Chains A and B, each alone.
Chain A
Amino acid sequence: EIVLTQSPATLSLSPGEGATLSCRASQSVSSFLGWYQQKPGQAPRLLIYDASNRATGIPARFSGSGSGTDFTLTISSLEPEDFAVYYCQQRSSWPLTFGGGTKVEIK
């Protein structure tokens, strides 16, 4: 099973600041990595697929990068609606696995 480790666990930032979230895989997942956003009481929403492609309707302030074992989700300038929990997920091999999540909270 591929283990995804996300860091930091919590990120305390102010609106307008940039955010950098990390996801590290225990073995290579090539570019088969996605990022999801989840707000309290809501289902997750796909932000990024194949490491760097924005899903339909996702604002340009969200970007993804990386390949192999190290991946980054960058939010260029935080909007109030971006404070949420973010998960990475690999689709390289079974079972599918998610990272433990990074909570982006208001400072």
Chain B
Amino acid sequence: EVQLVESGGGLVQPGGSLRLSCAASGFTFTTYSMNWVRQAPGKGLEWVSIISGTANTMYYADSVKGRFTISRDNAKNSLYLQMNSLSVEDTAVYYCARETERFLRDWGQGTLVTVSS
């Protein structure tokens, strides 16, 4: 059974940093591209970033480019999102999601990031 478990969310002040983690199990982690998708309270879904299985390709949404960095540790079956220069607009539930055949088939339960003073 595929399992994705996010962690690392919490309350952070504007301008601060946070690192999210996603622990994956139940599949061969290196084989799949992994994504971060976020959802602001009461709002829709916003794709954030993707990283290929071998970590040689990454893409970012314009809204986070230059501030967020996606990475993975295939030895630890883990995905990460380093978030710097956070603003209140980054407040959201952050989901990690596995991509299979171009779409997001498996999702974690999400971790809440709140940016507030």
| Chain A contacts to B: CB under 8 angstroms | 1, 32, 34, 36, 38, 43-46, 49-50, 55-56, 87, 89, 91, 94-101
Residues of B near any A CB (own CB < 8 A): 35, 37, 44-47, 50, 59-62, 95, 101-105, 107-110
| Complex contact A96–B47 (CB within 8 A) | yes
B95 and chain A: residue at smallest CB distance: A43
Query: Bound state CA distance, A96 and B50, in angstroms?
Result: 9
B46 to chain A, nearest CB (A): 7
Q: Which of A36, A50, A96, A97 has the most CB of B within 10 A?
A: A96
**How far is B110's CA from A38's CA once the two chains are assembled, in angstroms?**
13
Closest residue of chain A to B6 (Cβ to Cβ) is A43
A49→B45 contact, CB < 8 A: no
- A49 near B101: Cβ-Cβ < 8 Å: yes
* B59-A100 in contact (CB<8A): no
Q: Report A-chain residues with C-beta under 8 Å of the C-beta of B61.
A: 95
B104→A94 contact, CB < 8 A: no
Min CB distance B2 to A, Å, is 11
Interface of B is mostly: strand
A36 touching B44, Cβ below 8 Å: no
Q: B45, B103, B107, B109 — which one has the most chain A CB atoms within 10 A of its CB? A: B103
Q: Complex Cα distance A56/B2, Å?
A: 13
Contact A98/B105 with A43-B95, A43-B110 known, Cβ cut-off 8 Å: no
- Select B104's contact among A32, A50, A89, A100, beta carbons within 8 Å: A89
What residues of chain B lie closer than 8 Å to A91, measured between beta carbons?
102-103
Kindly report which residue of chain A lies nearest to residue B105, judged by CB atoms. A46
A94-B44 in contact (CB<8A): no
Shortest CB distance A102–B (Å) = 10
Instruction: Beyond A50-B102, A55-B105, A101-B45, list 11 extra A-B contacts (CB 8 Å).
Output: A34-B104, A36-B45, A43-B109, A44-B104, A44-B107, A56-B105, A89-B45, A91-B102, A95-B62, A98-B47, A99-B44
Contact A87 B45 (CB under 8 A): yes
